[in-house]
Chains A and B, each alone.
Chain A
Amino acid sequence: MTRPLLELTDLKVVFDTDEGVLAAVDGVGFSIQRNEVLGLVGESGCGKSVTAMSMLSLIPSPPGRIVSGRALFDGRDLISLSHQELRQIRGRRISMIFQDPMTALSPLHRIGNQLAEVWAIHSSMKNREALERAREWLGKMGIPDPGDAISAYPHELSGGMQQRVMIAMALMLDPELVIADEPTTALDVTTSAQIFELLHEMRRDRTSILLITHDLGVVWETCDRVLVMYAGKLVEEAPVRELFRQPAHPYTRELLRSIPGFDPDRELYAIKGQVPSALNYPAGCRFHDRCPDAFGRCEQEEPPLYVLSGGRRSACFLAEKWVS
């Protein structure tokens, strides 16, 4: 097999809070291949955004600390790079679409200037040309009146339009890896489909995508492989079809069961119990108190991430049983 584009190993990230040390990400590792779309799903608060941001050293510190971990990209460990070196890579070779549009957009500057600025940093493009390119990109994103939109301020755009400006910003420089954190939550299904078409085209060229999303329909349509996180840990990894056909971890199975249907009369299903607090995750398997299949061992011992056949991994003692 060829060398992966990015290889993350044993990432541990904590936040020092007044109530104690919060272990947001606890030993997560995976790799991203070239030209692939890798999905990352999991419960709200389980550490997806923190994982993504750590790979680009974007964790606010303090209170955040990367306790361990390596992110090898092209032979270099991103986590130990200097700010100077990271700036060369961020934006140009790896770009990030943030969950919150306003972390990437300044409320005080016009959209066109903000996009043009991205080129200014990375190339010697003239301002006029950069603005023209900005207009083109807004058009590609399906924003009406792109010529007008470049002179607008972010608050004059709808939520989904802001999100698309940010997507444009991340894609413009034709990066090798795009880390997309909930890129389409503010988009209607037709507009979102159009954006994914575009991502699909880019990927045919050479771009890989790490896609964090709660929309399992989008995962089904767009991803090649999927990672599932629960309570700061990776609990499952599988090719996308396999994941939906035969989940190898009870959390995944219960999550898939919770997908709402189009039937108003059907009672909504939610996994029993509460999302555990990152300040004190349960001992043993972190899912044990909510797991319908838990048995004695699950309370005491933490299951390792078992390697199964077909490129799958699962952190459940019964992993083999689920896929047989």
Chain B
Amino acid sequence: MNPEPLLTVRDLKTWYPIRRGVLNRAMGFVRAVDGVSFSLEKGRTLGLVGESGCGKTSLGRSLAGLEVPRSGEVLFRGEPVPPGNRRGKIWHKRIQMIFQDPFSSLNPRMTVMDIVTEGMAEHGMLKGSREQAAREVVSRVGLDPDAVFRYPHEFSGGQRQRISVARAVSLNPELVVCDEAVSALDVSVQAQVIRLLKRLQEELALSYLFISHDLAVVSTLSHEVAVMYLGKIVEYGPTAEVLHKPQHPYTQALLSAVPRPGKEKTHRIVLPGEPPSPARPPSGCRFHPRCPQAMEVCRSVDPDARTRGPVQVWCHLY
């Protein structure tokens, strides 16, 4: 029997009410996450990619218990994650999140030292002096240890992002949801932070859900990749398979648009039409209005998972 996965997600739905008008009545729902299932084992990284607004952050927040799912299950070590703590306090110190926005996720009135040792003190694991502990974590992410007495607004975008990384890893978590955790860094500093994340994974058997728009970064770090489109996973499998032999037409379009030095723009698959509404998702396959290969069946029947070697793909072509 396989060991129990660290994290199991079953048919998760996270919807947001659309409140409009003077009465603030719910006029419908944004179906940000609309039926997602996967599992993540100890010491593994799942890369999560997809169009802006497709629900990646909402999924990450739901795993950390920061959103109330409408239905479905999130199990951490076999136990349900108690949902509904929207105040930004994560229920379990074993799950940490590096937030997408490094500007508003750091408390402006706390020094870097307070930020990176807050959790340690709270969880009663502060060894030695606070300052020393802070200096140590901060230099691990390539920041000047003397920076511990400064405040977040005194740092550049990428420096703040590294403070967020330092805070998350300082707590010895088992699962870290990394939401665009290295996107504000130049490629060299980015490589340092990625190496740090990898090293921690090796030493502590950490698991990551790694959300990123940078497919090259995803490829260097992830064991598996999930591609999301409009609230659902459309392709899932080992990194090399998904990124080198993409099968879903959306994944193919995404990869074709990656800009790289030396590469010309001409091979880009341009998606026609308007981006669809997550409040009124298209019938059938959600991608069909923009899919270059859509067939008649795609308009009416939502494709179920097809297994193609080690990859699962939700598309009628297969």
Contacts and interface: CB of A to CB of B under 8 A. Distances in A.
Contacts of A259: 187, 216, 260-261
A144 B159 contact: no
B101 A161 contact: no
B65 interface: no
B202 interface: no
Given A159-B180, A190-B254, A218 B259 contact: yes
Interface stretch (B33-41, B48-56, B127-135): B48-56
Contacts of A63: 154
Contacts of B253: 190
A258 B195 CA distance: 12
B157 interface: yes
Contacts of B100: 159, 186
B211 to A, nearest CB: 10
Question: Which of B16, B184, B188 gathers most chain A CB within 10 Å?
Answer: B188
A176 to B, nearest CB: 26
B50 A262 contact: no
Interface residues of B, number: 70
A315 to B, nearest CB: 18
A317 B185 CA distance: 28
A260 B186 CA distance: 11
A239 interface: no
A14 interface: no
A205 B190 CA distance: 36
B109 interface: no
Contacts of B259: 189, 193, 215, 217-218, 220-221
A187 B254 CA distance: 12
A100 B187 contact: no
A185 interface: yes
Interface residues of A, number: 70
A182 interface: yes
Question: Which of A42, A159, A160, A216 gathers most chain B CB within 10 Å?
Answer: A159
User: Which DSSP category, helix, strand, loop or mixed, fits chain A's interface?
Assistant: loop
Contacts of A268: 191, 194-195, 220
B274 A49 contact: no
B189 interface: yes
B183 interface: yes
Question: Which of A15, A185, A187, A279 gathers most chain B CB within 10 Å?
Answer: A185
Nearest to B102: A100
B257 A189 contact: yes
A158 B52 contact: yes
Contacts of A215: 214, 259
Nearest to B259: A217
Contact of B157 (A17, A44, A261): A44
Nearest to B239: A264
A15 B154 contact: yes
Interface string A203-243: 00000000000111111110000000000000000000000
B217 interface: yes
B216 A260 contact: yes
Contact of A188 (B57, B189, B213, B260): B213
A263 B239 CA distance: 10
A199 interface: no
B271 to A, nearest CB: 6
B142 A142 contact: no
Contacts of B244: 262
A44 B52 contact: no
A294 B180 CA distance: 35
A250 B136 CA distance: 30
B294 interface: no
Interface of B: 16, 18, 20, 49-53, 57, 100-101, 103-104, 142, 144, 146-147, 149-150, 153-159, 162, 180, 183-192, 194-195, 213-217, 219-220, 222, 239-240, 243-244, 253-254, 257-263, 265, 268, 271, 274-279
27 contacts: A17-B150, A19-B149, A44-B157, A44-B184, A45-B159, A49-B156, A60-B153, A99-B157, A100-B157, A102-B104, A185-B213, A186-B52, A186-B180, A190-B51, A193-B265, A214-B183, A214-B187, A216-B261, A221-B265, A244-B262, A258-B186, A260-B219, A263-B219, A266-B220, A268-B220, A270-B195, A279-B144
By Cβ-Cβ distance, the 7 closest A-B pairs, closest first, are A44-B158, A160-B52, A217-B259, A270-B191, A277-B144, A100-B103, A268-B191
Given A193-B259, A279-B144, 19 more contacts: A43-B186, A44-B185, A49-B156, A63-B154, A148-B18, A159-B101, A185-B180, A186-B213, A188-B52, A189-B254, A193-B268, A214-B185, A215-B214, A217-B261, A260-B216, A262-B244, A268-B194, A268-B220, A271-B188
